[in-house]
Amino acid sequence: MTTNRKKRPGERVFAIVLTVFSVAALWQAYRISGFKSLSEPGVFPMLAAGTMLVSGLFVLRDAFRSKNRSAEMSGFFATILQPRLMIVIALVGLYIALMPWLGFIVASGLFLFVCFQYLWRRSVLISVVLTLVSLGCIHIIFRIVFQVVLPKGTLLAGLI
């Protein structure tokens, strides 16, 4: 039974990612022990990944059967990849890039402050207080309770 249902934004992208992930999982499962016999440790992971791949290929085929592709792409960018989300993703990338230089505490503080200001849009004082409280909790939980060594950074290594 075939139904003409409307494609959701991002459905094709999800189908592609699912298929690529399934291929990668199948390759990793094969690398466990190859396919020498049915009693090898990699057989069950290969069966699971193979099932994922076959399912992903069916989902991919169905996702590309739609005729109205331009409307779906505009819906994808309007619904899934909103500018606000892309800016936060860029901030996360910048946070990761700056952490080796600034250290965990300073980079996390800057990241939290900028995100609070951008996403929450409250006063600067509230964002600063919330950032400091968050950093204090993170420091107590990870550094004192769990005794995790937090990266210091190369730029400010002697200061902090």
Q: How far apart are CA 139 and CA 144, in angstroms?
A: 7
pLDDT band per the 50, 70, 90 thresholds, residue 42? confident
- Shared-domain flag, residues 30 and 69: yes
- Shared-domain flag, residues 132 and 99: yes
Is the confidence at residue 142, as pLDDT, over 80? Answer: yes
Q: Which one-letter amino acid corresponds to residue 26?
A: L
Burial category of 45 from C-beta neighbours within 10 Å (exposed 0-12, middle 13-18, buried 19 and up): middle
| Residue after which a domain boundary falls, among 22, 55, 79 | 79
Are 52 and 22 spatial neighbours (Cβ–Cβ below 8 Å)?
yes
- Shared-domain flag, residues 73 and 102: no
Is the confidence at residue 100, as pLDDT, over 80? Answer: yes
- Is residue 110 domain-resident? yes
Q: How far apart are CA 154 and CA 63, in angstroms?
A: 48
- Is residue 25 domain-resident? yes
Output DSSP code: residue 3: -
- Shared-domain flag, residues 74 and 96: no
pTM (global) more than 0.85: no
- Is residue 155 domain-resident? no
| Residue after which a domain boundary falls, among 61, 79, 97 | 79
User: pLDDT at position 38, please?
Assistant: 75
Q: Which two tokens stand for residue 99?
A: 């952490």
Q: How far apart are CA 3 and CA 43, in angstroms?
A: 37
- Is residue 151 domain-resident? no
User: pLDDT at position 27, please?
Assistant: 93
Q: How far apart are CA 118 and CA 100, in angstroms?
A: 24
Virtual torsion, Cα 105, 106, 107, 112, nearest 10 deg: 80
- Shared-domain flag, residues 74 and 89: no
- Shared-domain flag, residues 45 and 92: no
The number of domains in the chain is 2
- Shared-domain flag, residues 33 and 90: no
- Is residue 159 domain-resident? no
Range of the domain at 119: 83-145
- Shared-domain flag, residues 87 and 138: yes
User: pLDDT at position 131, please?
Assistant: 97
